[in-house]
Amino acid sequence: MAQDKSYQAWLDMLNAAQAQIADNEEQLGALDAHAGDGDHGASMNRAMGAVQEAIAGMQGEGVEELLKKVSGNLLRIDAGAIGPLLGTLFRGLAKGAAEGKGLNAGGLADMFRAGLDALRGQTKAQPGDKTLMDALVPAVEAMEGAAASGANARSTLAQAADAAAAGAAATTDQVAKYGRARNLGEQSKGAADPGATSLSLMLRGFADAVRDLLDDDDDPETPNA
């Protein structure tokens, strides 16, 4: 896949992620209200606004520069903990792009593994702690499994989105160990973690965008960086 198609794919993926967050802002706020102040939906919309500002400032410089710009904007916004977390994730994705990881199954798995590794330098949270890691870790593992099985990029992202959604849903019965919700102990059960839910929505947007963009004959093993 050519570099320009990869760049356009990431633009479409980011736009689709924003649409998912906008469509679910009220739900995200309600989830946050269960154990927090209910502003997560608004914070995520603010984060997606920062992503749009990054896109608007680009002139087709390439995937790495796009993701770097997104990361920088997210790290600077006032949106609670989600800004630094998403900013760090995108910094890792940019690093993966800089290493020549393309929009194919193996490249996506490597990029998101780099994003997860970067995020692990920001937080000690693990799956089961009721955080966005409950969605991200299974998503990355699903990507790696899909790539190893010879899946194409569309299938890889679809499987990742499904795994993230399942991971986010599983947080409903978990006790929060981070953030304001940890002070509630057992009372933090009963609603899915808003951060994990947000990440699963973003991945669903990514998957939908790539499904609509890529052709059946796109070679999942052909580098595009």
Look at residue 206 and tell me if it is in a domain.
yes
d(CA 93, CA 6): 14
State the chain's mean pLDDT as an integer. 90
Look at residue 154 and tell me if it is in a domain.
yes
Look at residue 219 and tell me if it is in a domain.
no
Confidence of residue 3 (pLDDT cuts 50, 70, 90): low
Query: Who's near 191: CB < 8 A, 6+ residues apart?
Result: 30, 31, 34, 35, 172
21-64: per-residue pLDDT in tens? 999 999 999 999 998 889 999 999 999 999 999 999 898 789 99
d(CA 63, CA 4): 9
Look at residue 223 and tell me if it is in a domain.
no
Q: What is the pTM of this model?
A: 0.91
Look at residue 220 and tell me if it is in a domain.
no
d(CA 44, CA 31): 13
Confidence of residue 214 (pLDDT cuts 50, 70, 90): low
- As a whole number, mean pLDDT of residues 144-163 equals 97
Look at residue 205 and tell me if it is in a domain.
yes
At residue 225, the pLDDT reads 32
At residue 221, the pLDDT reads 41
Look at residue 44 and tell me if it is in a domain.
yes
d(CA 65, CA 193): 31
At residue 85, the pLDDT reads 95
Domain span at 56: 3-213
Q: Is the dihedral of CA 6, 7, 11, 17 positive or negative?
A: positive
Look at residue 225 and tell me if it is in a domain.
no
At residue 141, the pLDDT reads 98
59-107: per-residue pLDDT in tens? 878 999 999 999 999 999 987 889 999 999 999 999 999 888 888 999 9
Contact between 76 and 199 under an 8 Å Cβ cutoff? The reply is no
Q: Please tell me the total count of domains within the chain.
A: 1
CATH number, domain containing residue 108: 1.25.40.340
Lowest mean pLDDT among 20-29, 59-68, 163-172, 202-211: 59-68
Contact between 76 and 46 under an 8 Å Cβ cutoff? The reply is no
